[in-house]
């Protein structure tokens, strides 16, 4: 296994800010000024400062007031902690009546909102007895009707439910986060901001990716592309945006609620699950509870297609599969919203057309609370989870609510070689994934025996990471790789641990960020469902990235009506075997011939992002299985292969073939390898659907596969 450097456009799954708790550089004498009144409470910077918001309720569910710091006992991992900061935040739930509008008001514009949401003094409470709510409008997940419902619901809340203690900030997400308003209680400012939301923006991103099956919408196109993989990037970017918002709000020690307006977050099954956990952990560290509102409301989607979309393509409308598919897709898109809310101490609101009611319910749940601060006695920057327990001696209290704990910071520079190795091992099982090093990962499969499959795994790392490492003047850096595969019973069926050195050319530092680095590994697995987790670390900056996903290996030996194929490898680069495969000189010739990614004396390097240049050649590699023998030559097969490119208007713009594939592979049973090489110089720049057609002329079976490629 070897890492390769090549120029390409890098599509990162998620670009996240470095993880950190509510902490900064420790001072020489950590202390805090405690207050139980309206006096200013200051949390002085300390690396071990921990903030806990506690709600104490009696048997009737009412908040218990009048408690003192001495009534509370705080434990971290079972060890008592000294409460250094204590304050009660008393918050009203009585709506403010709308102010009377004068003639002068009608001709005046509200003041421009402030768009800097960071705390003026990190760690200092600046909103005493205030309810902090953040309206997060994710327009990339909402179609136009959903965007309008979210807008109307927010405006109705501002008109009827906002109280004198409510402070609301407004965030907007289409492709990047925008702060439309800092925390403010000015109803006019908030109303103006929400009325001017760009309705319609990014709504095209909210449509479900088509899977190409007969239950999908009939668009009258010449063919239907399987776009399942597109949601991988879109979903991770949404979750990364939530993580970024949580880190943006972490400087406020007060309790906060993020009202997440969304049309559902769809997941394809190949998404980076580590990004979901990273978003949850960032919200937990920031004392931020997520309240997810599904803006689609109560839907009744008829099997034949509603007014907003066409009917299904096949017979699914008659056998019930369409309605089952529609409902399953909606429930799946709500699962992520539910997880975000449940794991951060918030609530989720589904299947209701009253969006304002969901916001009002959030307001109700964000009532009065006690704010406690302590300086942890555990100063180890090991990144491990610290469990928090809060107990009360007051007998009036029957229920105490607070966050379960937090993950400590990780300080790379203080780790020795043994600690670094242990850190990598723990990252494979840690509940707090690292996302400061963005990764893209691709999993393929090829049948090498009736019951075994070779599974190549390719990982792409943006060159900006190496460019950052080289700024310190280092000439060499090292990437550490650790991977693990588990089956459905959680048994480990595959492991990899590797490290690769990369030379840093100081003279080419300016162009290093435009290059990416790719690493590949291979496993042999049986058919079944698996879970894979990979951790990558760059050893100068200490940046780490985690990629976690589920995948399935089909049983291609089973009888099926269609022609059987491996996954398709799209590539623009081939390397000599000795240079591309670590220790190739020690591998047997038979082992090299059995590797599907080795063609002759060259190794195919998969293009994970499928972005190509017109100056390159497009290499396509895959296997066809169990084609019937040619009656004229039983050792040969008669397989025809053609490839077509379609533009966004479903117009065929380029075609190759048909070509003949007749020879069986000597080391992979009943496998006909197919290799295509297509110069892209005749293809104009743009986005295309690439369709490969495969026909077994003797067996009278066919198969086709599609993928989106971008030609630059």
pLDDT at 267: 65
| Sequence spans of domains, the chain | 1-15+418-558, 49-90+371-408, 133-180+198-367, 563-712
Query: Which residues sit opposite 663 in a β-bridge?
Result: 636
- 38 by DSSP, 3-state: which? coil
Structure tokens at 568: 């398709």
Residue pointed to by tokens 């077509």:
644
Q: What predicted TM-score, i.e. pTM, was given to this entire model?
A: 0.56
Q: How many CA atoms lie within 13 A of 179 on its CB side?
A: 18
The end-to-end CA distance of the chain, in Å, is 30
| Domain 1-15+418-558, CATH among 1.10.10.10, 1.10.3720.10, 2.60.40.10, 1.10.730.10 | 2.60.40.10
pLDDT at 579: 54
Helix then strand then coil, in percent of the chain rounded to 5, is 20, 35, 40
Question: Could you tell me which CATH number the domain at 563-712 has?
Answer: 2.60.40.2550
pLDDT at 16: 30
User: d(Cα 281, Cα 278) in Å, to the nearest integer?
Assistant: 5
User: d(Cα 386, Cα 406) in Å, to the nearest integer?
Assistant: 5
pLDDT at 234: 64
Query: Identical fold at 1-15+418-558 and 133-180+198-367?
Result: no
CATH architecture of 133-180+198-367: 3-Layer(aba) Sandwich (3.40)
DSSP 18: P
pLDDT at 177: 87
Among candidates 617, 639, 649, which has minimal Cα distance to 701?
A: 639
pLDDT at 442: 86
pLDDT at 23: 39
| Contact predicate 475/506, CB 8 Å | yes
Backbone φ, ψ for residue 511 (5° rounding): -100, -5
User: d(Cα 553, Cα 243) in Å, to the nearest integer?
Assistant: 32
Determine how many CB atoms are found less than 10 A away from the CB of residue 181.
23
How high does pLDDT run on average in the chain? Answer: 77
pLDDT at 212: 46
- 230 by DSSP, 3-state: which? helix
User: d(Cα 600, Cα 598) in Å, to the nearest integer?
Assistant: 6
User: d(Cα 277, Cα 429) in Å, to the nearest integer?
Assistant: 13
pLDDT tens profile 596-623: 888 777 788 888 878 888 888 888 989 9
Among candidates 522, 546, 594, 287, which has minimal Cα distance to 432?
A: 546
pLDDT beneath 50: ranges in the chain: 1-46, 208-215, 218-232, 509-510, 513, 580-587
Check residue 343 and give left, alpha or beta (phi > 0: left; psi -120 to 50: alpha).
alpha
User: d(Cα 56, Cα 368) in Å, to the nearest integer?
Assistant: 9
| Contact predicate 616/685, CB 8 Å | no
pLDDT at 507: 55
Among candidates 497, 577, 579, 506, which has minimal Cα distance to 533?
A: 497
Evaluated on CA atoms 214, 217, 220, 226, the torsion sign reads negative
Q: How many CA atoms lie within 13 A of 170 on its CB side?
A: 24
Structure tokens at 209: 């990716």
Beta strands in 393-514 (DSSP E): 399-401, 405-407, 440-443, 446-449, 452-462, 476-487, 492-503
pLDDT at 259: 93
Query: Which residues sit opposite 289 in a β-bridge?
Result: 257
Structure tokens at 32: 């805090």
């Amino acid at each position: 296994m070897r890492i390769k450097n090549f120029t390409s456009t890098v599509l990162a799954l998620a670009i996240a800010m470095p993880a950190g708790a509510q902490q900064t550089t420790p001072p020489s004498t950590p202390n805090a000024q405690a207050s139980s009144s309206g006096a200013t409470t200051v949390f002085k910077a300390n690396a071990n400062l921990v903030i806990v918001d506690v709600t104490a309720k009696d048997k009737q569910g009412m908040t218990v007031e009048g408690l003192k710091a001495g009534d509370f006992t705080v434990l971290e991992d079972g060890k008592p902690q000294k409460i250094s900061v204590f304050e009660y935040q008393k918050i009203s739930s009585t709506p403010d009546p709308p102010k009377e509008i004068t003639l002068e008001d009608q001709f005046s514009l509200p003041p421009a909102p402030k768009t800097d949401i960071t705390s003026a003094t990190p760690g200092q409470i600046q909103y005493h007895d205030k309810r902090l709510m953040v309206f997060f409008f994710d327009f990339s997940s909402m179609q136009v009707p959903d965007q309008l419902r979210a807008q109307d619901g927010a405006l109705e809340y501002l008109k009827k439910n906002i109280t004198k203690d409510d402070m609301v900030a407004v965030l907007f997400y289409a492709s990047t986060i925008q702060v439309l308003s800092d925390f403010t209680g000015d109803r006019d400012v908030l109303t103006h901001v929400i009325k001017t939301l760009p309705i319609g923006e990014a709504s095209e991103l909210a449509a479900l990716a088509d899977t190409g099956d007969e239950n999908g919408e009939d668009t009258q196109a010449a063919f239907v592309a399987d776009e399942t993989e597109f949601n991988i990037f879109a979903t991770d970017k949404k979750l990364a945006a939530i993580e970024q918002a949580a880190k943006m709000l972490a400087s406020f020690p007060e309790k906060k609620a993020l009202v997440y307006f969304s049309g559902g977050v769809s997941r394809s099954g190949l998404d980076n699950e580590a990004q979901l956990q990273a978003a949850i952990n960032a919200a937990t560290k920031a004392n931020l509870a997520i309240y997810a509102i599904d803006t689609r409301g109560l839907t009744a989607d008829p099997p034949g297609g509603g007014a907003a979309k066409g009917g299904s393509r096949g017979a699914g409308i008659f056998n019930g599969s369409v309605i089952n598919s529609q409902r399953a897709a909606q429930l799946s898109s709500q699962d992520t919203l539910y997880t975000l809310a449940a794991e951060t101490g918030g609530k989720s609101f589904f299947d209701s057309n009253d969006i304002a009611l969901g916001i009002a319910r959030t307001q109700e749940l964000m009532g009065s609370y006690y704010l406690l601060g302590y300086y942890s006695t555990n100063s180890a920057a090991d990144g491990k989870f610290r469990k928090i327990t809060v107990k009360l001696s007051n007998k009036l209290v029957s229920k105490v609510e607070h966050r379960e704990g937090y993950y400590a910071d990780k300080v790379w520079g203080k780790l020795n070689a043994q600690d670094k190795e242990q850190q990598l091992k723990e990252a494979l099982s840690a509940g707090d994934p690292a996302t400061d090093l963005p990764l893209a990962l691709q999993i393929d499969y090829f049948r090498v025996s009736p019951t075994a499959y070779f599974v190549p795994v390719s990982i792409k790392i943006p060159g900006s990471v190496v460019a950052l490492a080289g700024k310190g003047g280092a000439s060499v850096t090292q990437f550490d790789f650790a991977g693990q595969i588990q089956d459905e019973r959680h048994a480990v069926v595959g492991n990899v641990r590797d490290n690769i050195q990369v030379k840093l050319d100081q003279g080419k530092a300016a162009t290093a960020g435009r290059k990416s680095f790719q690493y590949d590994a291979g496993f042999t697995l049986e058919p079944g469902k698996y879970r894979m987790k990979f951790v990558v670390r760059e050893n100068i900056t200490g940046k780490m990235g985690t990629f976690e996903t589920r995948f399935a290996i089909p049983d291609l030996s089973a009888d099926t009506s269609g022609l059987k194929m491996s996954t398709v490898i799209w590539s623009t680069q081939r390397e000599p075997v000795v240079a591309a495969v670590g220790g190739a000189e020690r591998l047997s010739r038979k082992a090299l011939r059995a590797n599907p990614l080795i063609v002759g004396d060259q190794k195919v390097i998969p293009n994970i992002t499928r972005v190509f240049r017109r100056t390159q050649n497009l290499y396509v590699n895959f296997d066809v299985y169990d084609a019937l023998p040619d009656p004229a030559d039983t050792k040969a097969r008669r397989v025809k292969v053609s490839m077509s490119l379609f533009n966004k208007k479903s117009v065929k713009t380029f075609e190759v073939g048909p070509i003949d594939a007749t020879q069986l592979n000597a080391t992979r049973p009943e496998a006909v390898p197919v290799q295509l090489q297509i110069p892209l110089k005749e293809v104009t720049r743009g986005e295309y659907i690439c369709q490969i057609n495969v026909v077994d002329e003797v067996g009278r079976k066919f198969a086709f596969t599609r993928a989106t490629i971008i030609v630059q």
